[in-house]
Amino acid sequence: MSGSMALDAPAAADPAPPHAQSRRWLLAALAAMLLVAVLAAAVGWRAWDRAPADDSLEAGFARDMIVHHDQAVAMALLAQERTADPAIATLATDILLTQQNQIGQMLGWLNVWGLPATGIGAPMSWMAPAADAGADGMAMPMEGAMPGMATPEELEQLRALSGDDFDAEFLRLMIAHHRGAIPMAEAALVGSDVPAVRDLARSIVATQQAEIAAMTALLEQQGPATPTPSP
């Protein structure tokens, strides 16, 4: 500002000489800019801190994969107890420790996101947008049942087996279980941009594929009498 001070009395009495007025506008503009900056920082912080919603793909994936993994842990615990084959015992320990750890990760996300571990929708409904596009009669074929899960009857039957029969049935059920987890993890990779979710989904796809190969090899060692399950 370069205006010279008006020295005469009447002008000095004026409460709003032009130079003072423009100083006010400058102050107002600065205040407005500060306000916008604070608001932008708050909104930016929130955006950075954003957590998936209750009906998000991420929450659905975490919840369903916890249940899916929990069954793998249950079957692996049973295998540790029943098998006489050290290779299968080691595999079971590996599966159980890995998947129990991943259950903890997913439960941790839900906790940090402020979401309960139980959703409102049916299992697999987070994958429904893709399935919904299908014909009316066949809408959401996945919903309500998670792929690869052993039925209570299959688990009951497994519990009744021992020796080689147990080993073969355990491997068959676990191969099918892993094959079911992979499309779930792939759906999360396609639909989520949350780094932690993508990292875990990628890890599930890679390691469970490798374990399917290892289990298929173990099953083949068992002899030609036990056919491998169809995908």
Partner 1 sequence: MTDESPTPEPPSSRVAGSRRRRSAQKIAAERQRQKSRTLWLGIAAVAVAGLVVAGIVLTSRRQMEATAPAGVQTFSDLPVGHTPDPVTYAQNPPAGGEHDPVWQNCGYYAEPVRNENAVHALEHGAVWITYQPDLPQDQVAALRELAASQSHILVSPMDGIPAPVVASAWGQQLQLQSADDEQLQQFVRRYRLSPGAPEPGASCSGGTSATV
The yes or no reply on residue 87 touching partner 1 (CB under 8 A) is no
The yes or no reply on residue 213 touching partner 1 (CB under 8 A) is no
The yes or no reply on residue 104 touching partner 1 (CB under 8 A) is yes
The yes or no reply on residue 107 touching partner 1 (CB under 8 A) is yes
The yes or no reply on residue 134 touching partner 1 (CB under 8 A) is no
The yes or no reply on residue 15 touching partner 1 (CB under 8 A) is yes
123, 147 in Cβ contact below 8 A? no
99 Cβ neighbours under 8 A, 6+ residues apart:
69, 72, 73, 76
The yes or no reply on residue 206 touching partner 1 (CB under 8 A) is no
CA quadruple 148, 231, 153, 159: dihedral positive or negative? negative
Q: For residue 192, what are the CA distances in angstroms to 142, 184, 225?
A: 19, 12, 43
The yes or no reply on residue 157 touching partner 1 (CB under 8 A) is no
181, 210 in Cβ contact below 8 A? no
CA–CA dist 167, 80 (Å, integer): 10
- Give the residue with the Cβ less far from partner 1, 134 or 144: 144
| Chain residues that interact with partner 1, rule: CB under 8 A | 1-4, 6, 8, 10-11, 13-19, 21-22, 24-26, 28, 31-32, 35, 38-39, 41-43, 45-46, 51, 54, 66-67, 70-71, 73-74, 77-78, 81, 100, 103-104, 107, 111-120, 123, 152
